[in-house]
Chains A and B, each alone.
Chain A
Amino acid sequence: DAKTTQPNSMESNEEEPVHLPCNHSTISGTDYIHWYRQLPSQGPEYVIHGLTSNVNNRMASLAIAEDRKSSTLILHRATLRDAAVYYCILYAGNNRKLIWGLGTSLAVNP
Chain B
Amino acid sequence: GAVVSQHPSWVICKSGTSVKIECRSLDFQATTMFWYRQFPKQSLMLMATSNEGSKATYEQGVEKDKFLINHASLTLSTLTVTSAHPEDSSFYICSARMRTGSLNSPLHFGNGTRLTVT
By a beta-carbon cutoff of 8 Å, the part of chain A in contact with chain B is: 32, 34, 36, 41-46, 49, 87, 91, 93-94, 96-98, 100-103
Residues of B near A41 (CB, < 8 A) are 91, 112, 114
29 contacts between A and B (CB under 8 A): A36-B109, A41-B91, A41-B112, A41-B114, A42-B111, A43-B4, A43-B6, A43-B93, A43-B94, A43-B95, A43-B110, A43-B111, A44-B44, A44-B93, A44-B95, A44-B109, A45-B109, A46-B106, A46-B107, A49-B106, A87-B43, A91-B104, A93-B103, A98-B107, A100-B43, A100-B45, A102-B42, A102-B43, A103-B43
Q: A97-B46, A100-B43 are in contact. Are A43 and B109 (CB under 8 A)?
A: yes
Number of CB contacts from chain A to chain B under 8 A: 51
Do A98 and B46 have beta carbons less than 8 Å apart?
yes
B32 within 8 A of A: yes
Residues of A near B85 (CB, < 8 A) are none
B7 within 8 A of A: no
Q: Size range of the interface on B?
A: 20 to 34
Majority SS at the chain B contact face: strand
CB distance from B9 to the nearest CB of A (A): 9
Do B102 and A96 have beta carbons less than 8 Å apart?
no
Residues of A near B95 (CB, < 8 A) are 43-44
B108 within 8 A of A: yes
C-alpha gap A32/B111 in the complex (Å): 24
- 0/1 string, B10-41, CB within 8 A of A gives 1: 00000000000000000000001010100000
CB distance from A27 to the nearest CB of B (A): 13
Residues of A near B103 (CB, < 8 A) are 93-94, 96
Do A101 and B43 have beta carbons less than 8 Å apart?
yes
A87 (CB) vs chain B CBs: closest residue:
B43
B49 within 8 A of A: yes
Residues of A near B93 (CB, < 8 A) are 43-44
Residues of B near A49 (CB, < 8 A) are 104, 106
B6 (CB) vs chain A CBs: closest residue:
A43
Residues of A near B94 (CB, < 8 A) are 43
